[in-house]
Amino acid sequence: MIDSVSAPQLVCSPRLRRTPFSRRVEAAGVKAYTVYNHMLLPSVFRSVEEDYAHLKSAVQIWDVSCERQIEIAGPDAAKLVQMSTPRDLTRMQDDQCYYIPNVDAAGRLLNDPVLVKLSDDRYWVSIADSDMLFYYRGLATAAALDVSVFEPDVSPLAIQGPSADKLIERVFGEDIVNTRFFRHQRIRVADVDMLIARSGWSLQGGFEIYLDGSKHGESLWDTLFEAGEDLDVRAGCPNSIERIEGGLLSFGSDMTNEHTPYEAGLGKYCQLDAASACLGCDALSSMSAPVRQIRAVEIDGGKPPALTEFWPLHDRSDSIVGRVSSAAYSPDLNKNIAIAMVDRAHWDEGTSLYTRLPDGSRRDVSVRRSFWV
């Protein structure tokens, strides 16, 4: 049994793609997967709680190949990317990574990728779970842009945890460790091209290695594990407890195509004047005062069950005023932490609400001012 998750069995087929690291992930004892961008994403190794404690104390290697890259290359590359996001890209440097909410013409979220700039006419969009490739192809074709839009054979592998710097220094050298946050360097090691960024979907610090060429996956994996043996390096994966503590949102759960960046708490990435080439800017200009927004909330009582569908949030008169989209018990905080979308009249710090779990039981909920770490 998998602790703290509700897990039916998953029937696999080539439609759910394996990764350059899947054989190593399975040898490392992966207990469960989720599916992300039509690809297998490891979700549990020992248990969610054990994986959590280890992530916060040592170093883990995460197969996040499912963060697929969309390569956008050509004279109109910057124009096409800017059409999809309200974040101003005009000052972006060639070694920078930007978190960019993608929006449609109605200002609603389509994805929340990390944009990796390679040069003025070449970008990688490192996507969350939706086929953004299709949106970019649609725009590029109908607008007759001079650009190529394709998925390169590039697979990210994340190194996360307090010992991540040590491990990276041993394998790639001090110069790579000095990479600043959300900056990247490109290196070639033993004839293999890699881009290494200081980034990753945890708050523990670390790097993402964008491996160029699936066939090199297993040797890269083995190199990292050999170099990190005395650091207690383990196979890991994005951890629901750790990412809720830090307020890292999951597209498709915490925010969906129903929501605007403002509702998702991403207003600081909306620079509507500068980013006027964004096709969603007209719509967004009237939406900066949202009627609902992401909030950190705490749930009373014992450890909650796995959240596999939205839990409704009610006010004291039983009206539905939001929904819980992620929840977990945090061993370090010794409380139940959660992410919710809450209506404006009920989102102030300290507001008391309640939710109903799928078994019908009622739990008190209180709204916080911010995430926990």
Residues that bind its own copies (CB under 8 A): 2, 5-18, 30-36, 38, 43-44, 83, 104-105, 110, 129-132, 134-143, 240, 250-253, 279, 306-310, 325-326
Placement of tokens 């909330």 in the chain: 297
Nearer to its own copies, 97 or 341 (CB): 341
Placement of tokens 């491996």 in the chain: 211
Q: Which of 73, 209, 222 is nearest to 154 (CA)?
A: 209
Minimum CB–partner distance for residue 55 and its own copies (Å): 16
CA dist., res. 143 & res. 146, Å (int): 9
Nearer to its own copies, 38 or 268 (CB): 38
- Which amino acid appears at position 81 of this protein? V
- Which amino acid appears at position 200 of this protein? G
CA dist., res. 121 & res. 338, Å (int): 40
Residues forming beta bridges with residue 211, ordered by sequence position: 155, 194
Cβ-proximal residues to 39 (8 Å cutoff; 6+ apart), any chain = 16, 17, 18, 19, 65, 66, 68
CA dist., res. 339 & res. 170, Å (int): 37
Minimum CB–partner distance for residue 34 and its own copies (Å): 5
Minimum CB–partner distance for residue 114 and its own copies (Å): 18
CA distances from residue 189 to 64, 116, 219, 326, 328 in whole angstroms, order as listed: 21, 20, 11, 39, 40
CA dist., res. 194 & res. 217, Å (int): 11
Nearer to its own copies, 10 or 373 (CB): 10
Whether residue 77 contacts residue 146, with contact meaning beta carbons closer than 8 Å, is answered with: no
Nearer to its own copies, 156 or 238 (CB): 238
Minimum CB–partner distance for residue 283 and its own copies (Å): 11
Minimum CB–partner distance for residue 224 and its own copies (Å): 23
- Which amino acid appears at position 138 of this protein? G
Nearer to its own copies, 35 or 177 (CB): 35
Please list, residue by residue across 162-186, b when 16 or more beta carbons sit within 10 angstroms of its beta carbon and e when fewer do.
ebbbbbbeebbeeebbebeeebbbe
Nearer to its own copies, 202 or 250 (CB): 250
Nearer to its own copies, 130 or 293 (CB): 130
Minimum CB–partner distance for residue 284 and its own copies (Å): 14
Nearer to its own copies, 101 or 228 (CB): 101
Minimum CB–partner distance for residue 342 and its own copies (Å): 16
Q: What interhelical angle do 217-227 and 164-172 show, nearest 10?
A: 110
Minimum CB–partner distance for residue 66 and its own copies (Å): 12
Whether residue 34 contacts residue 135, with contact meaning beta carbons closer than 8 Å, is answered with: no
